[in-house]
Chain A
Amino acid sequence: MSAATQPTEAARHRRRRFKVDRDAEEWHGPYVRYDIVKEFTLALIVVLLITVVASILFSSPDVRPVTLRSWATANPVDFAQTAITELDGTSATAGYGPPYNSTPGVSQHIIGPISLESAFGVHHPINTMKDYVIDPLETLPNAPAVHAALTSYTSASPSLQQKWTGAYEKGVAKASFTNGSLTLPPGNYGPVAPMISSLTSMARSGALDGALVSSSQFYGTDYTKPLLFIANGTYMANLAAAEHLQGGQWGMMNETGSYPGQAWLWLYTMWYQISPFTTSSNADAQVWAIMMILTLALALVPFIPGVRSIPRRVGLYRLIWRQHYRSVEAGAGTGSGGPPAAAS
């Protein structure tokens, strides 16, 4: 740096204006005894005691998970009604878009054309017809009738497939389950009827649960496919509604039973209870955008003029430091000396 560009001594040591919401004067008042290890130990004992007592009194919730087997056993008609939507590509998963498939025009947008969902694309590909119906049925051993139905369906023209599945969708709406099998009104269902009937039996046996765990090897931990299939039906949603877990019931922050759940998600969950997010097709993207902005604002409170003044204007600090201010008024407590301010 040249001499000409070097700041003057006066400028180098200019006084920075004290801003009461940003700066703090160094403490030169009295210090008191403080046993930090004792404080930590006592706090640990208190927390341990409360935790153990709460655990003994209230335990923790553990409602058994829904399986394809339990669903198809408890409500086989709902299972069959869902299965046909997987086959004809009208289920929620089939029309979801990224990251499961590339259904056009369904991605959520934050503002205008901005869709992060589309930008990242398909990462967990799911073809509901193939993954949920065709492939599992092909694994059935000693089932020539099912395999013949599969061949018939897959070799048919798309228009004929639609004719069969359309008829089945109408028929299964009036279906019943008696004597261990689905009973539908007479109709031109083609091979779809034996396919869905076999898939329902497969689910009731538990074989479909294993067939849908996304793993090409023995061990599997990815339950994306079976969970999405189950979520497409109404069975799990009805169970959730009974446990006050639906989105409109502040469900994201609740737990089964009367447990406190994730109460810290109240602000995130709140947006889903109010307009326009209750009806917006882009609600998820919009709520997340709002939460990101609010989160950033929380982290940057010390840097935001006006917001960082709120504590001083509210004045709650006077309650917190009431002893200090009493001492100041009494003329004691602002004295000098004592250890360095950073000693606490």
Chain B
Amino acid sequence: MSADTAVPAAPATGAPALLPEDADQWTARVRRRAVGAFPPERLLPDRQPAYVASWIYVFGVLTLTSLVVVLLSGAVLALEGPSWWHQSSVGLFVNSTHLWSVELFFFFMVVHLWGKFFMAAWRGRRRATWVTGVVAFLVSIGTAFTGYLSQQNFDSQWIGTQAKDGINATGAGAFFNVLNFGQMLMWHILLLPLVLGLFVVVHVLLVRKRGVVPPFPAKPAVVPALATEVAPVPSAAAAADEEIGEQR
């Protein structure tokens, strides 16, 4: 780069300042959209609405932290391989942490799910948050199930030989063979965690974006007066969008 085209450094960070002619680049557009949707104070807030005052709210973060422990203990098991925990007392302990963090993860997640159900947490453009949470729950069940099949012990054998009938009855047994240890291990430690991670990230980002659902109106009689939002009539495309999830 010649001296006359050198990019001036931004004073605060030392990084090059954004030049007007770069604003139409894909990178700049993605950055603008990301920062617009998730400004730092929204991702890591210092304040929350006063109505968020119940122990039920703790179960969301407990679910998330349990997942972290599940992933960490699973990663340690992966370091030594699937047979390690059968032969080593340390391995057995790590496997135990994996098992109990999974049990905690599901317990917290189910309480979280019921809590959100009884708060009707899908209200106010939060339907996608609910749907991604339910999908994460379902993928978690699949991930745990393949984990049980990957234990290489009597439980794996029995669960596999019993579960095959249900899965074969759906036709899925043709390509998802619960008696194939190698296949189940790959699903358990790679494919399903990837999908689960994706849905959890999207779910959490949606929570940050939309916020925690406010309480039902205290007095239903005043509801119409509160409905002061004026929404434009959606276009055909926007109407389709509304049908699949976004409330206008």
B171/A120 in contact, CB under 8 A: yes
B134/A123 in contact, CB under 8 A: no
The tally of residues in A whose CB lies under 8 Å from a CB in B reads 117
Partner among B96, B141, B212, B233 whose Cβ is within 8 Å of the Cβ of A344: B212
A333/B50 in contact, CB under 8 A: yes
Q: Is A276 on the interface with B (CB-CB < 8 A)? A: no
B96/A123 in contact, CB under 8 A: no
Q: Is B192 on the interface with A (CB-CB < 8 A)? A: no
Give the CA-CA distance A236 to B160 in the complex, in Å.
12
Q: Which of B8-16, B17-25, B27-35, B179-187 contacts A (4 or more CB under 8 A)?
A: B179-187
B160/A227 in contact, CB under 8 A: yes
A99/B154 in contact, CB under 8 A: no
With contacts A25-B227, A342-B209 known, is A321 near B215, CB below 8 A? yes
Contacts of B144 in A (CB 8 A): 262, 264
Q: Is A324 on the interface with B (CB-CB < 8 A)? A: yes
Partner among B120, B173, B226 whose Cβ is within 8 Å of the Cβ of A25: B226
What sequence of 0s and 1s flags, for each residue 32-53 of chain B, a beta carbon within 8 Å of any chain A beta carbon? 0000000001101111111111
Q: Is A177 on the interface with B (CB-CB < 8 A)? A: no
Query: Taking CB as reference atom, which chain B residue is nearest A118?
Result: B171
A47/B65 in contact, CB under 8 A: yes
Contacts of B73 in A (CB 8 A): 51
B168/A320 in contact, CB under 8 A: no
Query: Taking CB as reference atom, which chain B residue is nearest A300?
Result: B131
B157/A236 in contact, CB under 8 A: yes
A224/B127 in contact, CB under 8 A: no
B118/A314 in contact, CB under 8 A: yes
Give the CA-CA distance A172 to B187 in the complex, in Å.
42
Q: Is B163 on the interface with A (CB-CB < 8 A)? A: yes
Q: Is A11 on the interface with B (CB-CB < 8 A)? A: yes
Give the CA-CA distance A21 to B223 in the complex, in Å.
12
A residues 268-311 near B (Cβ < 8 Å) are: 282, 284-285, 287-288, 295, 298-303, 308, 310-311
A55/B120 in contact, CB under 8 A: no
Contacts of A224 in B (CB 8 A): 177, 179-180
With contacts A21-B120, A34-B47, A284-B166 known, is A50 near B104, CB below 8 A? yes
What sequence of 0s and 1s flags, for each residue 64-102 of chain B, a beta carbon within 8 Å of any chain A beta carbon? 111011000100000000000110000011011111110
B154/A288 in contact, CB under 8 A: no
Which one of A59, A66, A325 has the greatest number of beta carbons of chain B within 10 Å?
A: A59
- By a beta-carbon cutoff of 8 Å, the part of chain A in contact with chain B is 7, 11-18, 20-27, 29-37, 39-40, 43-44, 46-48, 50-52, 54-56, 58-66, 98-99, 108, 116-117, 119-121, 123-124, 221-224, 227-228, 230-231, 236, 239-240, 243, 245, 247, 251-252, 255-256, 259-260, 262-265, 282, 284-285, 287-288, 295, 298-303, 308, 310-312, 314, 316-317, 320-321, 323-325, 327-329, 333-334, 338-339, 341-344
19 A-B residue pairs with Cβ-Cβ distance under 8 Å, sorted by A, are A14-B231, A16-B248, A23-B227, A24-B123, A32-B47, A35-B46, A44-B65, A48-B69, A54-B100, A56-B93, A58-B96, A61-B155, A63-B154, A98-B174, A120-B175, A255-B148, A317-B118, A329-B218, A344-B211
18 further interface pairs, Cβ-Cβ under 8 Å (given A33-B47, A343-B41): A12-B232, A37-B44, A43-B58, A44-B65, A44-B68, A50-B100, A98-B174, A99-B174, A120-B173, A223-B181, A236-B161, A264-B106, A264-B144, A285-B170, A320-B54, A321-B215, A342-B210, A342-B211
